[in-house]
Amino acid sequence: MQEPFLKVTGVCKEFPGVRALDNVSFECLLGSVHALIGENGAGKSTLIKILCGVYQPTRGETCLNGSPVRIEHPDQAAKLGISVIHQELNLLPAFTVAENLFLGHEPSKNLGAIDRGQVRAKAQELLARVGVNVDPDTLVKDLSLAQKQMVEIAKALSQESKIIVMDEPTAALNHNEVEKLMEIIRNLAATNHGVIFISHRLEEVFQVCDTVTVLRDGQLVGTKSISELDMEKIVEMMTGKAILGTRVDGKNPVQQRKLLETRNLSAKSWFHDINITVRAGEIVGLIGLEGQGQREFIRSLYGVVKTTSGQIFVDEQPVTFRNAKDAIRAGLAFVPEERKVEGLCLVLDLLQNMALPTLKDRQRFGFIDVEKERSMGKDLIAALQVHPSNPMHKANNLSGGNQQKIVIAKWLPAKPKVFLFSEPTRGVDIGAKEEIYQLMRSVTDQGAGVLMFSTDMGELLRVCDRILVMYEGHIVKEFRGTEATREMLMTAQWGLA
Amino acid sequence: MARQSEITATAKSSTGVAGFFKNANNMKLWLWVATLVLIVISGIISPGYVQPENLLRLLRQAVPFGFIAIGQTLAMLTGHVDLSVQSVTVFAGMLGSTYMMGSDANLLSAFILVAGMAATFGLLNGLGITKLGINPFVMTLGTGIMLDGLTMVFTGGATKGTASPILKYIGTGRLFDFFPVSILVWIIASVLVVLILKRTTFGRKVYAVGANKKVAELSGIHADRLIIGVYVISAIMSTIAGFIVCGYIGTGTLDLGDDYKMTSMAAVIMGGTLFRGGVGGYAGTAAAVITITALTGLLTILNISEPMRRMIYGAIILAVLAITSRSKKE
Amino acid sequence: MEKVPITKETTVQTNFFRRALNNPGMPIYIILMITWAIGYSVSESFRSPGNLPNLMVQTVAFALAGLAQTYVILAGDVNLGVGGIISIIVCGAPFLMTNTPASMIGMSLVLLLIGAAIGALTGYLLIKIKVEAMVLTLAINFTLLGFALYLMPFPDYTKIIPIDFIRVITGSWGPISYPVVGTVVVAIISWYVLYRTRFGLHLRAIGADKETAFRAGINVTKVKIWAHTITGFLAALSGLFLAGRMGTGDPTAGATFSLDSMTAAVAGGTLFNTGVGSVAGTLGGAFLIVILGNIFNHLGVSTFYQYVFRGALLVVAVAGGAIKKKWQDKAK
Amino acid sequence: EDNYVVDAKKWKKKGPYTVALCNISVVNSWRVAMVEEFKYEASKHKDIKQVVVTDAANNVAKQIADMEDLITKKVDLIVITAPPTALVPAVEKAVDAGIPVVSFDSVVDSPKVTVKNIADQSEIGEQLAQYIATQLKGKGKVAMLTGIAGTTPGQMRYEGALKVFKKYPGIKVVGQVWTNSAYDQAKRAAENFISANPDLKAIYADGGPSGYGAMQATYEAKRPDIIVVGTGSNGHFNLWKKWRDSGAKVRSFAIQDPPGDSAVALALGMKLLRGQKVQHIEKMKLWTCTDKTLDKVARPDLGDDYINSTFLPEEMKVKLWGKK
Ligand SMILES: Nc1ncnc2c1ncn2[C@@H]1O[C@H](COP(=O)(O)OP(=O)(O)OP(=O)(O)O)[C@@H](O)[C@H]1O
Ligand SMILES: Nc1ncnc2c1ncn2[C@@H]1O[C@H](COP(=O)(O)OP(=O)(O)OP(=O)(O)O)[C@@H](O)[C@H]1O
Ligand SMILES: [Mg+2]
Ligand SMILES: [Mg+2]
């Protein structure tokens, strides 16, 4: 058998109060794609950060090409031939694409002057390789999220590393972009690179990976060749139990009461003449390619994006929103897609986060009823099975899935009429996803409505009563959740009949 | 789950005595230790200095600084900064004594008038920063310079009038001939501020806006309004400081001995409030204010040259920052 | 919110005017032009031919200090020790220099190295003591000012700067004085270093996002210490110029420069914690500080009102940039 | 430096004139009064058509720039109070450009300065210290509150005082701090000294209003036995009088350089412009207040900040410092 290029043995990593990795061993061969999977908080990102010198392990050793190494700085990792696409975007918005691509290893002439001609040429070549059609001098902040992700991938490729690590690179990509990425990964493997691939979308793992390593709670569950595995087996390794990917339906049929309605709603260049309704007990899905106006549409319902014409009705009453507060007062709740930027105050504790939208409900003369608040926090944490369950834990140290639960939990005491979700399960593991779907159903069972935007077709097909497809700012198609198929959604997304 | 029990175990250990020392939020403790050390050194140098009477006098000297630092703490908790505090304090003292003319009958109206004008500048700070997006540092520096000018325009640069008897009592008087009134005022204000920050919806909003303005807004908080409010409060706190200085020295003055705009920032950060906002509180700031005042007092009574004194002052502040920053790290 | 369909080509126009308009230093130049126009139309003595060369010389100290500050602000810090460094250089120069070319050149270098060393030490302490730069450098500044006072407890007329050194500082080619040329050269080099070298890119990247820069393999510690070293060096240069202009030491000379340098940089469009800034803007910011005083003097504005206007104009200068940015964000 | 009669013809010039006051800053009441005295004096000269006052906000570089601006503006006379060494080149430039320069208070240290209007700062320190030494009969603990660190007047007063104290081995200086010439800092420092030294006998305060701060501290500590000397402000005199009149045995003394020095400087400058005879160095008289003159000096009807040695007419005093 081939000698592993990269090998870590017995790695432990402790954070205050958390053991993120416990005696994990892992290896990666050149010319193969190795999947690293596990639930949120299993320790995947932590392992990666150790591999590239961002963290130092508490214990354990790393071998490269058979000889032990200590990777103390990302610079060193790059020199050893390891480059990483981190889970969080690592781009500088105010800098150009070219500057970002070569950050830290710019081609230079004498005296440290940047060789701008070479930078441009190489940048164009890299961008073409990942299929992003932008000028290298464009500022990153002017790119779409998917383009940013592709630039991030190009950045990793720019270092000509032997090992390329991708921590959830596909979370922000649509179907086509994912296909493109899969092709790149296969190419890398074919040209004798090693790829470590992390994703919560198991289909992708089956598409490209040769080997799968599963982590659970910071411990190694096992490493297996893909041929020995199927979907159920992987899920069981990850969660310790079997999960069925069947539809999640409501207990009661959808009611007649229209909780949310728009009539000819338009906003400048984003979307035009949108008419939708969300009824009590209903989950309505919204899908579209990147940049078709769906994100802005959801935000306009929350008063964050200004509409230019048309009318919104909540519970059959006409409303106008100047800001989020108006929308909340009318009975809406919004779960944004970038939870760390828009969903959570990371330096505050869980209780403070969860209490935020409903501070008013537990106060007298401006003073907070601490007892009431504490018990509310405990109840929510118990109901949503948040780990860790200490409400005084800082939001920052939670894994993605648990953070997302908190973002949803903070709205529950407000008892909103309609929940607006934008990518509710991005970067969330299978187990937590399941819990979030159940949560969505439990709010609709209690008479609320849900409007959700997602790029994950499987998810929409599983939970939605109706699915709307947006294209170039219009709703072009509507399906019943039980009748739609992937193929139908796909063709509709492309604006084909 | 195995990890779960570990978390509760560590959570428990951090509530013990050992944990208290390790606890990330306990720069306060280090500051009290520093203050104690300073007082002990002072006591060794001159035994008379550490009698309760004199310690109270020392504490009294910290009161105006303490009020200025309330505003600065609020501003910095929301992730902002207020450099106009010094100018407002001078403005308040000068105009206050001019309008008061030494009469108790005018005290309240003078305060309301001056606080109103100062609040207008707080409002201006808040509006410029939130609505126009001007950098807080420059905005408040600019309004500070404007206020310096207005103080002189309004008063001609000379102090007319004096502090009224009640204000003098607040500034220099003692309860039962022992406990300085101004310390009592400060203690009451401090307790209120700490309570408000920890226990009221307003306080929560301050932390939330400082931690993440966008999240706060999406959770239904008028972040801009809150920030404007914080600047108005800061202006009013500095007004109070100006009045207390006026009561303490009996008159308004163009020239305060200290540069409070800088030292207040230093005190807030030494007290454990994060520059980016969202973490910290007034208890730490108050401890830092007392530490700095005790340090100044000690350096005064040491018979050393001014350059030495300044270098030692700078070095000790550096050392305290180094220690507190270490206790902030995990 | 972005709306850039991936299928469509997105290119950025790189023509000159667009770039100039997008330069963060642009608003300050518009304000300068307005201010200039007012001064020119209202005051006769403002128009006199000697005024512009004067203004340029007066700008030098602020510009050099402002440039010093620009480096560290771009690197995500700030250095309030600039004033302390200037004071130490101003007080140290008359002790060290004698009126021989070797001494003057040698000692100038020594003084510049002292400034650089103080800067490097500041950078090192900032890395070691993880406290907000604003506060840490404030404490350092206090120590430095104390040291300047130790060197020279009061303005001492027995300690003078060699006459030939003064000649160089006050000399000129026609209306353009040597230090003005020197400042422009420093500015051009600074622009090149900051925008055309790897070091400059790394420095700005750290200012924009330290974590991302670290993960990209940039040696954050090294770059930051170098940034502070350059700051110390340029502050010392500003101090040397001042010493030559005063002909002697004065322990109070540098104190106001900590804030003035920051005002110049920030009014010139350099933003905190973004890695965004402009060297030309800093020069403009320094010029604004000087031209305001100049106009007030020529118009004979009452000193009391001078403060009011000075504060107001500082706000307006920065508001220009802020409003422009808001407006651009909205247009998106 | 030798005194001589300035060449009258050299500076003679036809009016009307533009005159300038080049000031480092208006940081305290003394300087405010000083500017007012200057303006008032100017208003008395019919041939002055414009008065320009510059203010450098304590920034030396700015004051140099101010001088250059005044030269460009071609004013006819510059009266300056500035850091004595830093402004030398700028002042010489003005003189070379044909503008007479009269310097006062903190006098610019160049032989080229046309007229120097010198108030003996050292003597202020000496007299204050001498009063303490005499009263204490050469024995006891003294604390010193001095003015603004790094300035020449501050340093000269301090050195003058030390010179006197050195003559009395029985006098022990327990500490000295620079108070920035600010009330609050002076009062705090005085409190700290009183606390730390139960047997303190006197407080020397030479910086602006710091004497008032010091006397408040002794008053509140009920320690009339501690002598407080200072440069005096109305608050100091009022408190001294009130305390003394209440029966306490208070000992105090004050000496000032009058803010009207600026007016004298301007008047001398005007003489130059009119071609009259002027000495290169003019010594200014210092102003004192003792227990005997206290009743006349103290003005309870005016604010604490009032500078009692001012020459301004009564209505201006009331306008500037009046309590109504
Ligand atoms: N800097 C940190 N400080 C404290 N705890 C941390 C830190 N980083 C991660 N953790 C904790 O370590 C554990 C592992 O986190 P990690 O980010 O590696 O999970 P992950 O498998 O990548 O999850 P996800 O799928 O959500 O990205 C989690 O419990 C997390 O809360
Ligand atoms: N882990 C702990 N163990 C024991 N006592 C503690 C602990 N943490 C805090 N305390 C005590 O409780 C008091 C309040 O603690 P806390 O940290 O909540 O202060 P705070 O009210 O948040 O102050 P601030 O307003 O400065 O943040 C502290 O001053 C300290 O005396
Ligand atoms: Mg992860
Ligand atoms: Mg706290």
pLDDT digits (tens, 9 = 90+) for A437-480: 999 999 999 999 999 998 888 889 999 999 999 988 899 999 99
The answer to the question of residue C189 being in a domain is yes
Contact: C215, A86; criterion CB under 8 Å: yes
- Is C238 part of any domain? yes
Measure CB to CB from residue D152 to each of C54, C57, C154 and give the nearest one: C154
Q: What is the pLDDT of residue D297?
A: 92
Name every protein residue with a CB atom under 6 angstroms from any ligand 2 atom: B 14-15, 19-20, 23, 25, 28, 194, 197-198, 281-284
> Is residue B171 assigned to a domain?
yes
Mutate to test the interface with D, among B61, B103, B160 (most CBs of D within 10 A): B160
**Minimum distance, in Å, between the CA of residue D271 and any CA atom of chain B:** 29
Distance from Cα A426 to the centre of ligand 1, integer Å: 16
> Is the CB of C13 inside 8 Å of chain A's CB atoms?
no
Domain end point (choices A172, A206, A239): A239
D221 with D247: CB under 8 angstroms? no
Reported confidence tier of residue A41, pLDDT bands at 50, 70, 90:
confident
D236 chain-B contacts, CB cut-off 8 A: none
**Mean pLDDT within A317-327:** 93
**CB-based contact A50:A56 (threshold 8 Å):** yes
User: For residues A441 and A234, what is the distance between their CA atoms, to the nearest angstrom?
Assistant: 26
Q: Do residue A359 and residue A299 come from a single domain?
A: yes
CA distances to B213, C183, C239, C290, C313 from C64, in Å:
36, 7, 9, 13, 21
Per the CB < 8 A criterion, the answer to whether D101 and D94 are in contact is: yes
Of D269, D260, D281, the closest CA to residue D38 belongs to: D260
- Nearest Cα neighbor of A183 from A162, A211, A157 is A157
Substitution site in A15, A197, A387 for ligand 1 pocket (most atoms within 8 Å of beta carbon): A15
Span A1-23, average pLDDT: 83
Confidence of residue C120 (pLDDT cuts 50, 70, 90): very high
Give the contacts of A496 (CB within 8 A, at least 6 positions apart): none
| E strand or H helix at B179 | strand B179-180
pLDDT higher than threshold 60 for residue B5:
no
Q: Is residue C35 part of a domain?
A: no
In a domain, B33, yes or no: yes
Give tens-digit pLDDT for B60-115.
999 999 999 999 999 999 999 999 999 999 999 999 998 888 889 999 999 999 99
Minimum Cα–Cα distance from C193: chain A residue: A113
* Residue having the nearest C-alpha atom to atom 22 of ligand 1: A45
Q: Is A327 inside a domain boundary? A: yes
Average pLDDT, rounded, for chain D: 92
User: What would the two tokens of residue B250 be?
Assistant: 């009996």
Report pLDDT for A491: 82
Q: Does A147 touch chain C (CB under 8 A)?
A: yes
Q: Kindly tell me if the per-residue pLDDT of A24 is higher than 90.
A: yes
Q: Is A97 contained in some domain?
A: yes
**Which chain A residues have a beta carbon less than 8 Å from that of B272?**
none
Q: Which residues from chain D sit within 8 angstroms of residue B155, using beta carbons?
A: none
Q: Considering only alpha carbons, which residue of chain A is nearest residue B221?
A: A325
pLDDT at B15 over 60: no
**pLDDT tens, D196-253?**
898 999 999 998 788 999 999 999 999 999 999 999 889 999 999 999 999 999 999 9
- The label of the residue with tokens 């229209």 reads A258
Considering the domain architecture, whether residues A210 and A273 belong to the same structural domain is answered as: no
Residue ending a domain, among A239, A271, A294, is A239
A293 touches chain C (CB under 8 A): yes
Q: For chain A, give the percent of residues with pLDDT over 70.
A: 98
CA-nearest of C117, C4, C38 to C292 is C38
CA–CA distance, A8 with A28 (Å, rounded to integer)? 9
Is the Cβ atom of A398 under 6 angstroms away from ligand 1?
yes
**Pairwise CB contact (< 8 Å): C298 & D26:** no
- Provide the domain limits for residue A192: 6-239
Q: Report the length, in residues, of chain A.
A: 497
Q: pLDDT tens, D135-191?
A: 999 999 999 999 988 888 899 999 999 999 999 999 999 999 999 888 889 999 999
Question: Is A91 found in the same domain as A58?
Answer: yes
Q: Is the same domain home to A348 and A486?
A: yes
Ligand nearest to the CA of B191: 2
Mean pLDDT (chain A) is 88
- Residue C332: the pLDDT is 54
- For residue C182, give Cα distances in angstroms to A134, C61, C237: 41, 11, 10
* Residue recorded with tokens 């412009």: D273
Mutate to test the interface with D, among C303, C305, C308, C309 (most CBs of D within 10 A): C303
Note the pLDDT of residue A497.
Answer: 57
CA–CA distance, C261 with C245 (Å, rounded to integer): 18
Of A202, A242, A193, A191, give the one whose Cα is nearest residue A226. Answer: A202
Kind and range of the H or E run holding C68: helix C51-74
A294 and A411 share a domain? Answer: yes
DSSP state at residue D310: -
Taking alpha carbons only, the member of B142, B134, B132, D93 closest to residue C288 is B142
With respect to residue B20, please indicate whether it lies within any of the assigned structural domains.
no
8 A C-beta contact, residue C251 and residue C142: no
Torsion angle of the four alpha carbons A381, A386, A390, A395, in this order, in degrees rounded to the nearest 10: -110
pLDDT score recorded for residue A20? 87
The residue type of A147 is Q
The answer to whether position C148 is within a domain reads: yes
Q: List residues in chain D touching C: CB distance below 8 A.
A: 23, 26, 35, 50-55, 57-62, 64-66, 68-74, 83-89, 109, 149-152, 154-155
User: What is the structure's pLDDT at A479?
Assistant: 93
| A262 and A229 within one domain | no
| Beta carbon pairs, B and C, within 8 Å | 144
Q: Which chains pack against D, by 3+ Cβ pairs within 8 A?
A: B, C
Secondary structure E strands in chain D? 17-23, 48-55, 77-81, 101-104, 115-118, 140-146, 171-178, 200-205, 227-230, 252-256, 281-283, 287-289
Structure tokens at A143: 């790119």
Q: Which two tokens stand for residue B286?
A: 């108050």
Distance CA D198, CA D225 (A): 11
In a domain, A247, yes or no: no
Burial class (CB in 10 A: 0-12, 13-18, 19+), D318: middle
- Nearest Cα of chain B lies from the Cα of C167 at a distance, in angstroms, of 32
- The token pair that represents A325 in the structure block: 């507060």
Asked whether the beta carbons of C313 and C288 are under 8 A apart, the reply is yes
Mark whether A194 and A328 lie in a shared domain. no
**ipTM value for the complex:** 0.84
- Cα A363–Cα A366–Cα A371 angle in degrees, nearest 5: 35
Give distance in angstroms: CA of B280 to centre of ligand 4: 5
Residue A252 lies in a domain: no
pLDDT at residue C321 tops 80: no
Would you place residue C83 in the very low, low, confident or very high pLDDT band (cuts 50, 70, 90)? very high
Pocket probe for ligand 2: among B30, B192, B194, the residue whose CB has the most ligand atoms within 8 Å is B194
**What is the DSSP pairing of strand A466-471 with strand A283-287?**
parallel
A333: nearest CA in chain B? B219
Whether residue C75 lies within 8 A of chain A, CB to CB, comes out as no
**Pair of tokens at residue C209:** 């996002």
Which pLDDT value is given to residue D151?
A: 87
The answer to whether residue A251 is domain-embedded is no
Taking the CA of residue A87 as reference, the ligand 1 atom at the shortest distance is 27
pLDDT of A2 > 70? The answer is no
List CB contacts of D245: < 8 A, sequence separation 6 or more.
Answer: none
- Report the separation in Å between the CA atom of B280 and the middle of ligand 1, taken as the mean of its atom positions: 25
CB spacing of A112 vs C208 below 8 angstroms:
no
**One domain, residues A311 and A213:** no
A74 and A214 in a common domain: yes
For residue A431 and ligand 1, the question of a CB distance below 6 A is answered with: no
Q: Identify residue A47 by its one-letter amino acid code.
A: L
Residue C156: give the domain boundaries: 59-262
Q: Which domain holds residue B208?
A: 25-324
Q: Is the pTM of this model over 0.90?
A: no
Number of domains in chain B: 1
Contact D155 C154 (CB under 8 A): yes
Question: Do A278 and A233 fall within a single domain?
Answer: no
Whether residue A146 sits in one domain with residue A107: yes
CATH number of the domain to which A291 belongs: 3.40.50.300
Band of residue B329 on the pLDDT scale cut at 50, 70, 90: very low
Overall average pLDDT of the D95-122 stretch: 93
Same domain for A217 and A276, yes or no, is no
